[in-house]
Amino acid sequence: MLGSCGEFEEKQIGGDRYNLFRQCKGTKSSTIIIRGGAQQFIDEAHRSLHDAIMIVRRAMRNTKVVGGGGAIEMELSRFLREYARTITGKQQLIINYYARALEVIPITLAQNSGADSTKLLNELRQKHATSGPEGRWFGVNCIDCTIVDTFQKYIWEPVIVKESALAAATEAACLILSIDETVKNPTSEAPQKGNKGGGKGKGGGMGKGRGRGMRTFRR
- 53-94 pLDDT, tens per residue? 887 887 788 778 898 999 999 999 999 999 999 998 888 999
Name the band, by pLDDT with cuts 50, 70 and 90, for residue 128: very high
- Region 98-111 average pLDDT: 93
Contact between residue 66 and residue 72 where contact means Cβ atoms under 8 Å apart: yes
Say whether pLDDT at 201 is over 60: no
Please tell me the predicted confidence (pLDDT) of residue 174: 87
Backbone angles phi, psi at 158, to 5 degrees: -65, 145
Contact between residue 10 and residue 18 where contact means Cβ atoms under 8 Å apart: yes
Percent of the chain with pLDDT over 90: 34
Query: pLDDT tens-digit profile of 17-61?
Result: 888 888 777 777 888 888 888 889 999 999 999 988 887 887 788
Phi-psi region of 122 (alpha: psi -120 to 50; beta: other; left: phi over 0): alpha
> In whole angstroms, what is the distance from residue 57 CA to residue 217 CA?
89
All domains in the chain, ordered by first residue? 66-177 (1.10.560.10)
Residues in Cβ contact with 32 at an 8 Å cutoff, skipping those fewer than 6 apart: 49
> In whole angstroms, what is the distance from residue 67 CA to residue 202 CA?
68
